[in-house]
Chain A
Amino acid sequence: GESVGLHLPTLSVQEGDNSIINCAYSNSASDYFIWYKQESGKGPQFIIDIRSNMDKRQGQRVTVLLNKTVKHLSLQIAATQPGDSAVYFCAAFPGYSSASKIIFGSGTRLSIRP
């Protein structure tokens, strides 16, 4: 089966610093990964995705790194801003054949110090 975990339940960073949120997954057959952001009282929102044939993908101020050897995923947020305060989830898709479900991590709460 698949399980997805996050290394830390909470992360506090100084405004302007870079944030790194980590995630481990268990199923080596997982081939698609997504990071979601969930603000208080809202549903999760897609941030960035990456396929297993890539090891890095960049978006606007965000970068996702994938290390398939150790089954590890990270989200890097550059120049963290107050609006980045949220819970961040990683999600692993266990292969094309499993058309029914994503496995979500429990989330890391990112807080920003002024």
Chain B
Amino acid sequence: IAGITQAPTSQILAAGRRMTLRCTQDMRHNAMYWYRQDLGLGLRLIHYSNTAGTTGKGEVPDGYSVSRANTDDFPLTLASAVPSQTSVYFCASSDSSRGAWMGGYTFGSGTRLTVV
């Protein structure tokens, strides 16, 4: 593993089903984030975690939940998927311990989710 790994790469999901998107980083970054990317809307923050054991809501948190049991993993769960959650999901991390925002974020390659 180098950087951030997201799984699955893509998924087609029936509406109403539960789904967990996985995100693992090996850089020991303290902060992690989930974004969704939709055409014309750019990247929008869903949830974030500044450090293991803490989470916070972003711009579009409804319908999603996260947990941060350890430094490396930050799964995103859709409890009951709806078609409006069709999107590309990016996990990201940052090391704010080196001084706020030095180098910004490292992103994963994304999960393309289609809810039908």
* Pair A102/B104 contact, Cβ less than 8 Å: yes
* Pair A44/B42 contact, Cβ less than 8 Å: no
Chain A residues in 8 Å Cβ range of B40: 106
Number of residues on chain B facing chain A (CB within 8 A): 26
CA gap between A4 and B88 in the complex, in Å: 20
Chain B residues in 8 Å Cβ range of A61: none
CA gap between A101 and B31 in the complex, in Å: 10
Contact with B along A1-42 (1 / 0, CB 8 A): 000000000000000000000000000000010101000011
Residues of A within 8 A of B (CB): 32, 34, 36, 41-46, 49, 89, 91, 93, 96, 99-102, 104-107
Residues of B within 8 A of A (CB): 4, 31, 33, 40-43, 45, 48, 50, 56, 58-59, 90, 92, 96, 100-101, 103-110
